[in-house]
Structure 1
């Protein structure tokens, strides 16, 4: 049986997130939590930003990728692993593979930002370019399974080991900041959200997610009670342009209270605020969480809110983004 078959049958429980934290501790960055009086005044809430943009490879994804590789047997490590990623998961897996001496191949959509492709390449992974969209991803996975049956597929989000690893960011946050009322993460495939939701539920913290209006399949899935297909790529939040998975959707249905959709122009405005006030470089996907609070400031007024800044891998060739340009495009 392959890694994904055996591990995928294991129950995902809160204990697995605590165990993942202990396992990956020697390899991860314990990222800081920041607050800012100007942003607090602007929103009327106390905001606590978990800065996963300062994680290894510039995104929370390193947590799950590292945890997944640490589950492999010696023979599985020697055979290597492969994945499909728009950038952040691929870079995380490549970096973890370099550290743990595991060969990594990453299939990358050809429209992925150049900065994210470069981030994968710097860690020595073999890159294969594919067309955008879920059909091309599934075709690439099937082809690699046929050509390299001994290799293990490490999915970007839809796996208990990945979810448990991603949940460690929220675990660190709630240990550091007491009495949070609400926790907000972005949602794409749902790995970060589902892991965070398990942590939030254990602490009786309201769990929200932020999602682009132009890629709101998670919101639609929650409304209809079944996973809905992702839209064709159209949002600037390139890290969130993917479907939920069975593992992630199951947790999200149980533990997520609300998914808030935000426009690209709202994301850009929030991203600029984070850059200016926190002095942090974050990518559009990360800024969705602040955009959600700004959009519904009355709802969040007076609350203590934890926000996970998921990544900071910005393609500088696409700057400057302009709110006016987006609104009139």
Structure 2
């Protein structure tokens, strides 16, 4: 694959299963980062759909703090080759320092084994570096950074004991993670150390993505609020939807204000029923 990387235009990663635990993490991070630094003609990078991935499989994944360290401190050029030709990108950005994430989205405390130990002082520095890589993809139409649901068939002993029909997907996943606590090598279902997509973290670096139509932040600890939606309305005029947008912000230290954030986001969305970007309201504005 690496020998052909410079000529690749369309890559669909269906299954990526690693062997020994010690080698798995290092190989995954280095391989996909090397790939992103090489595929200069790539137009589409996609992965498996919801319900198709098993608990032992992963998709395209890059550890942001590791990549940043290699680029800044180790002197290795880790600049992504992806540019204006990109149309669709499905991947995971993990390993973002997020000292603000203290709880899971069901308001239960985040456990140490669920996150990597990172240099929290680089929270925004690492994110801005990743935004710079994404920002060169000015032709991007679909950006999927959210988690893909696994197929729950055959989970057996990992199934939560509660069989509540009213349980939300997030509640189910967090209970499932608790059941898997002794097997922390299993791929996580929620990304706690992700890009937050807040203005404070450097969202403005993605202002050139004028063709973006869909953003997916499913099961990630994003911090998209009304200020971010207003920015997207202006800077991403063709943005139709953000998958898994609504969040109570119970991930973070401002959890007590989480419901206020959620209500404000829902109110903003109700006021923009046709889409998020300004192009959906051009006629109304001119009228």
TM-score over 0.5 for the pair: no
Task: Identify, as 1 or 2, the structure richer in strand.
Answer: 1
Task: Identify, as 1 or 2, the structure richer in helix.
Answer: 1
Give TM-score, length-normalised by structure 1.
Answer: 0.29
Give TM-score, length-normalised by structure 2.
Answer: 0.31
The higher relative CO (CA closer than 8 Å, separation ≥ 6) is in 1
